[in-house]
Amino acid sequence: MKELIGTGVALITPFTKQGIVDTASLTRIVNFQIDNGVNYLVVLGTTAESAVLSREEKQLVIDTIVSANAGRLPLVLGIGGNNTKAVVDEFVATDMTVFTAILSVSPMYNKPSQEGIYRHFAAIAAVSSKPIILYNVPGRTGRNMTAATSLRLAAHPNIAGIKEAGPDLSQTIDLLKDRPKDFLVVSGDDEIVMAQIACGMDGVISVAANAFPKPFSDMIRYSMAGDFSMAKRLNDLMVEGYSYMYEENNPAGIKAYLYEQGVIENVLRLPLVPASEPLQAKIHKYLQKFAD
């Protein structure tokens, strides 16, 4: 999975003021990412509000990104859920031809045991035509996938890596220490990825890169090269910005940034709502300072 080392960006789904998928803005975002140095694109991850898109809308998002990308960067597709049979059915029904890998989030809400998480991913891996990247994000799912479970799954020939977004650095260190050779471990946390790369991570699937693809991907490149002095200079510019991105929810924060940059309309789908006026004001002020 060497093509997925570095900066992946979890693309948002822009909507028009009328609430429909804004394919023109999505095309601009894809080109913006490619022109500014990211390494790969993640399609229909949780940042894309995939939970509130219809099947037809998901296909429109896929078609738009594939067309705009035109084979320039590797693509990763998000498919996941907490109904294992439904996820398996979606894997079987989905044309994965253009995708390098599938990113699949650990089951949310019903809080399965570690054995349940293992069996969920084993069932998916058994039917997938592409390698799977696990996604552990306990802040959203309500259940941490332990390093032991991740490493148990890493032995499966069709499971190629993990996006680790757990808050416990010691868990990350255990995962990195014992992972199989060539098992990809990337961060799901923009705020601490520089430190995680110092521990041995292979990069990040980023939200922040939607708005800051060049400085963010440059920061990752410097970190991967071991030049943490240069990486820190860039990261220091973005630290304040990271906090605003997640102050209320994701992707309300990152959409507020892109709105301020003139890239999209500031529209989300319920139950998510746009950033509050006080947060929007902080983002506006930060971007003015960032541009100076």
| Residue with the two structure tokens 């913006």 | 32
Q: Which of 58, 118, 130, 135 is catalytic?
A: 135
Annotated catalytic residue 109:
no
| CA atoms of 114 and 90, how far apart (whole Å) | 23
**Are the CB atoms for 27 and 187 separated by under 8 Å?**
no
| CA atoms of 262 and 277, how far apart (whole Å) | 17
| CA atoms of 209 and 36, how far apart (whole Å) | 10
Q: Is the peptide bond before 167 cis (omega within 30 degrees of 0)?
A: no
Q: Is the peptide bond before 157 cis (omega within 30 degrees of 0)?
A: no
| CA atoms of 36 and 89, how far apart (whole Å) | 36
| CA atoms of 125 and 87, how far apart (whole Å) | 11
Annotated catalytic residue 2:
no
SS3 10: strand
Q: Which of 58, 163, 255, 282 is catalytic?
A: 163
Q: Mind telling me the catalytic residues?
A: 135, 163
